[in-house]
Each structure stands twice: as C-alpha cells, then as structure tokens.
C-alpha cells in the first residue's frame, strides 16, 4: 500500500447527525442478532419436557448394538457409550454432541441435549461409518406442523 490514508474517509465527513444514524443502525442490528440467537437456542429448552431418556449403546465388532434410539419429543437424551470392543471408537451426533475417542473397554456418558428432531449418530474414526457404525435418533410424539 503506497498511501493507506487515501481509502479512509476523514472523520470530518461524518456530521454528528450521521454518526447518530449509524449508531442507531448498529444498535438495531445488535438487537436483531440477540433475538435470532435467542430463537435458535441450541438446547431447544422451550420444548423441554423435563424428562430424560437414558440409553446405553455398545459396540459389536464394527457396529453399534443399537440401530435406532427413540426419544419422546422434548426429552433430554443421555447416552452411555460403552466401547465393548478392542478398537478405538466414538459416537458423534449431528448436533455436534459427541464422546471422545474411547479405547476398548472405556465408557463415557454424553448429554445429547433436548431432542426435537430426528438426527443421525456415527463413529468418526476413518472408515468406520462407511462400515456401518451409524445409528438414528428418532423423535416420537412430535406435534403436528
Ligand atoms: Cu468406530
């Protein structure tokens, strides 16, 4: 850059009224961001039933022993993942909740959060999902849309 000041607008080009307009605009934008992030709260707490569905998933060879986890709409899902194999595995859900990679014989409990829609879960170790290490979380009793 030969002359970095050339592209900058001098402060004097912004009269006070204009500065206030920008400030108001910024405030409105900030409020909007807050509103949007509030609506898409990741734990879906508005739909929460207060109940928790607890499920244990184990490993059978290169498969989970569970194909489908049914969760009543609005329940919290808590999965106990027991790596009952000799290899390293994990269990990640589509909403980003996951166990760490567990060596054979290790156990980890993962709070998957308030469930309001179907989603998949799978093992992130290379090639494992392709070999069948995946399962479905299925919501039951969802309100009609
Ligand atoms: Cu695996």
CA 135 / ligand 1 centre spacing (Å) = 12
Residues with CB under 5 A from ligand 1 (ion): 89, 123, 125, 128, 133
For the segment 81-118, what is each residue's pLDDT rounded down to a tens digit?
A: 999 999 999 999 999 999 999 999 999 999 999 999 99
C-alpha of residue 67 to centroid of ligand 1, in Å = 14
Q: Give the distance, in angstroms, between the CA of residue 89 and the centroid of all CA atoms in the same chain.
A: 20
64 within a domain of the structure (yes/no): yes
The three-state secondary structure class of 40 is: coil
State which residues form the domain around 110.
48-140
| Domain assignment present for 14 | yes
Q: How far is the CA of 72 from the centre of ligand 1 (A)?
A: 27
pTM over 0.85: no
Domain-located, residue 145:
no
SS3 for 75? coil
Q: pLDDT value at position 41? A: 47
Pairing assessment for the beta strands 92-93 and 119-122 based on DSSP bridges = antiparallel
Residue 56: the pLDDT is: 98
Expressed in angstroms and rounded, the spacing between residue 32 Cα and the centre of ligand 1 is: 42
Tell me, what CATH number does 75's domain have? 2.60.40.420
Query: What's the 98 CA to ligand 1 centre distance in angstroms?
Result: 13
Residue 74 and residue 108 share a domain: yes
pLDDT of amino acid 113: 97
Contact between 71 and 95 (Cβ < 8 Å): no
Cα 138 to ligand 1 centroid, rounded to whole Å: 21
Q: pLDDT at position 23, please?
A: 59
- Judged on CB neighbours under 10 Å (0-12, 13-18, 19+), 66 is middle
* pLDDT tens track for 9-52: 555 555 666 666 655 766 766 665 555 554 444 567 788 999 99
């Amino acid at each position: 850059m030969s002359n970095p000041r050339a592209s900058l607008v001098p402060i004097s080009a912004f009269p006070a009224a204009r500065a206030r307009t920008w400030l108001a605009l910024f405030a409105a934008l900030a409020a909007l961001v807050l509103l949007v992030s509030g609506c898409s709260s990741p734990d879906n707490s508005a739909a929460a039933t207060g109940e928790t569905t607890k499920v244990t998933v184990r490993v059978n060879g290169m498969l989970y022993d569970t194909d489908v986890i049914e969760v009543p709409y609005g329940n919290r899902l808590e999965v106990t993942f027991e790596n009952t194999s000799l290899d390293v595995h994990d269990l990640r859900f589509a909403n980003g909740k996951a166990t760490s990679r567990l060596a054979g014989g290790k156990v980890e409990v993962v709070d998957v959060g308030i469930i309001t829609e179907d989603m998949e879960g799978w093992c992130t170790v290379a090639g494992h999902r392709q070999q069948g290490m995946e399962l479905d979380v299925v919501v039951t009793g969802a309100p009609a849309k």
